[in-house]
Structure 1
Amino acid sequence: MSDRQIEVIPVTNKRERADFVDLSYRIHADDPHWVPPLRMEAMELVTPGKNPFFDHAEVQHFLAKEGGRTVGRISAHIDHLAIAQPPEQGMGPGVGNWGLFEAEDATIAARLIATAEEWLRDKGMHRVLAPLSMSVWEEPGQLVAGHDHSPTVMMGHQPARYRDWFEALGYTKAKSLYTYELDITQEFPPLIQRIVASGEKNAKIRIRNVDKSKFDEEARLILDILNDAWSDNWGFVPFTDAEIAYAGKKFKPIVREDLIMVAEYEGEPVAFMMTLPDLNEVLKPMKGKLFPFNWIKLLTWLRNPQVRTMRVPLMGVRKRLQSSRLASQLAFMMIEYIRRNAIEKYGSTRGEIGWILDDNQGMVAIAEAIDSRINREYVVYQKEL
């Protein structure tokens, strides 16, 4: 192995950025459960000026080359919003990240990760949390359980062998992130039904759909609740105004008013639940390409998305209410209303909630109360530099 000529180079131009993106399609070509992202979106993710993550982060992408071939890739990055967070919440000063990792074998992996570590060390970082691809809000963690089925929209899917490579290089678990699945055709347990019915009798509570005609206003409201609700969570990084606008533009085509709920108490919006039809179900056979004819299929699907799975990527209750009974009642009411709509209007049979931090007792309790079970586990690793 010592005589292998593996060169790791920084990505500096558009052609190298294209090589960076293209590698993942080749690495995962034989994995029946990997969902190829649309290539145009994959390019946008790693392009300064397109992805607002670059506005508050230093980023360097690297390619591994051997015999003229691209055989690996990695992104090293420092999120200045993340290092400004309290250290007890996982991020904080001196914590850098790497992600968007792909490699053909363990030797290439070691070279790439060593390069990312050196880059971070040279920038004054003393600890790594990885993989984050690239923001904690995008695809955090390495998949360690659940390789036997495809991920839902906005969730990652990495080969099991990557875990062994990371751990062999001294990386240990910082946190597990779970997704929970449930059969939404089944009514929730009687206790949950009683909690929902009680809430419906409370004149102070109103559960409403979002209003897509006020999309920007509703997006700002939801992100305001989110930034408040999640502010004490491990790994939290606040959304910027640019990221709110970017996320809104990205999600607008798949947003359905009756799948995103806002809970009001005494007239004040205090909680929300976002549910998205699983776009991956229609994207998977497209193999990352919209042209020549896949764009027609996608537009047709977007007009009336009939999907097996609905994903709940985000929900939140304002921090001051989180330890109250009202918080769980509002959550159960929103889940139940969305469950009914998903079945009746979109033909859905399955739900997925997550990701949820392994020590988020409130959300774990809600997931367990509605008879959902863990179907995927992702691990965010840590290492001292």
Structure 2
Amino acid sequence: MASQPLAVRPVSTPADRKAFINVAYLLNRDDPNWVAPLRSEVAGTIDPKKNAWFSHAHGQLFIATRGGEPVGRISAHVDTLALEMPAEKGFGPGTGFWGMFDAADANTAKALINTAEDWLRNQGMIRAIGPVSLSIWEEPGLLIKGHDHPPTVMMGHHPTKYQGWIEAAGYLPIKQLMTYELDISVEFPPIVNRIIASGEKNPRIRIRPVDKKNFEAEAELILAILNDAWSDNWGFIPLTQPEIADVGKKLKPIVFEDLIQIAELDGEPVAFMITLPDLNEAIAPLNGSLFPFGWAKLLLWLRKPQVRTMRVPLMGVVKRLQSSRMASQLAFMMIEYIRRASVKNYGASRGEIGWILDDNQGMRSIAETINSHVNRIYQLYARQL
């Protein structure tokens, strides 16, 4: 097939969209650490009618074929909220993105990236950042460390060869996103336990589980803290109301009250921590499909997950408390309460925190203080067009 001419075309039909989704399964099927996502979930991600991110973004999918057989794919997209942010915050005017990148070989990779760049230029973009698939809140960055173990829920996994292909296209690293892993079956260091005990004696502090019966109200509360806490972070794009509704709908089946904690100070919610059982452990054997029996297995698992790993995808403390002792104390208390519940109620023994920006010294310090270490690094690249 290598002697056949390579063709890259825009995805325009239902058959094209199906082929676009299937490329990832074809090219990654021999990687023992790649977890096949549910095809229905991927289909929803690329469908403007089902993904609220498209309310402020637009893009184009491309598929590469050789001899009529799919050998690669890529997306190119523009996010209007990213265009509006100050350039010093990471994105800004003239910045477009590409992602959902898979390629069988170096020539295919080059052709796909060139095609995505041409599309971005036609949209008036002067800079490209990738891979971002599709939103910065979904799967940003290329895996450059941690190929020897599977990703947790909502995290990507990529072959080692992609790094060389992307850098050969003229892309330079601009930011690293890290995940930290730790053994949660053992207690935290004595200094952390003393900080937690001190907080438990403080009448101003209350740590409470989320109330799933008031799911929408709790989601709004967490969103407000998140948008305040993360507003100064590199690459931060506020989640919109339609997006938070989407996220809530998708995550509600794996939301468990004892795994999401809200911290109150003098009766005011000021911090939160979201933890998810690693859904990838349940879907890995399904090969991307709920049929014929996958749906029944997944529903049974969701009743009361028993997992090895818990992932902390989001955590935040309101800006006015950041860099204070109180912020660290609240964080340690939420982490400890969720650690206890994870071990006792779900049989978990491993935790994964992240992603965390490489320049977020506060969160990195908290992660290191509880004896966790970096297990995966995702790298974002950029190039002037």
Q: TM class by shorter-chain length?
A: over 0.9
TM-score by length of 1: 0.99
Shift of 1:375: 0.4
State how far apart, in whole Å, the 2-side matches of 1:55 and 1:17 are: 20
* Aligned match of 1:328: 328
Write out aligned runs for 1:101-180 (5 A).
101-180=101-180
* Aligned match of 1:368: 368
State how far apart, in whole Å, the 1-side matches of 2:39 and 2:85 are: 33
Shift of 1:123: 1.0
Q: Which runs of 4+ in 1 moved over 2 A?
A: 1-4
* Aligned match of 1:300: 300
State how far apart, in whole Å, the 2-side matches of 1:3 and 1:340 are: 58
State how far apart, in whole Å, the 2-side matches of 1:65 and 1:226 are: 42
Alignment deviations for residues 156-192 of structure 1 (CA, whole Å, 9 cap, x no partner): 0010100010011111110011000000011111111
* Aligned match of 2:205: 205
Judging changes above 3 Å, is the alpha-carbon distance between structure 1 residues 282 and 3 closer, same or farther for their aligned structure 2 residues? closer
Shift of 1:2: 11
- For structure 1, the residue ranges without an aligned partner over 5 or more in a row are none
Identity between Structure 1 and Structure 2 (%): 62
- One-letter amino acid of the counterpart of residue 90, structure 1: G
SS of corresponding position for 2:236:
coil
State how far apart, in whole Å, the 2-side matches of 1:93 and 1:325 are: 37
Query: Quick check: 64-73 or 133-142, which moved more?
Result: 64-73
State how far apart, in whole Å, the 2-side matches of 1:130 and 1:123 are: 16
Alignment deviations for residues 275-334 of structure 1 (CA, whole Å, 9 cap, x no partner): 000000010001011111111110110001000000000000011111211111100000
State how far apart, in whole Å, the 1-side matches of 2:71 and 2:28 are: 13
- For structure 2, the residue ranges without an aligned partner over 5 or more in a row are none
SS of corresponding position for 2:341:
helix
* Aligned match of 1:59: 59
Contact 2:4 2:67 in 1 (8 A): no
State how far apart, in whole Å, the 1-side matches of 2:2 and 2:25 are: 28
* Aligned match of 1:186: 186
State how far apart, in whole Å, the 1-side matches of 2:92 and 2:194 are: 43
State how far apart, in whole Å, the 1-side matches of 2:66 and 2:222 are: 47
Contact 2:308 2:347 in 1 (8 A): yes
Alignment deviations for residues 22-60 of structure 1 (CA, whole Å, 9 cap, x no partner): 110111110000000111111111111111111111110
Alignment deviations for residues 329-368 of structure 1 (CA, whole Å, 9 cap, x no partner): 1000000000000011000000000000111000000000
* Aligned match of 1:277: 277
> What is the CA RMSD across the aligned residues, in angstroms?
1.1
Shift of 1:61: 0.4
State how far apart, in whole Å, the 2-side matches of 1:98 and 1:320 are: 35
State how far apart, in whole Å, the 2-side matches of 1:180 and 1:368 are: 8
Alignment deviations for residues 191-225 of structure 1 (CA, whole Å, 9 cap, x no partner): 11010001001100000000000001111111111
* Aligned match of 1:379: 379
State how far apart, in whole Å, the 2-side matches of 1:97 and 1:112 are: 13
Contact 2:77 2:96 in 1 (8 A): yes
Judging changes above 3 Å, is the alpha-carbon distance between structure 1 residues 356 and 287 closer, same or farther for their aligned structure 2 residues? same
State how far apart, in whole Å, the 2-side matches of 1:100 and 1:91 are: 19
Q: Determine if the alignment matches structure 1 residue 69 to structure 2 residue 69.
A: yes
TM-score by length of 2: 0.99
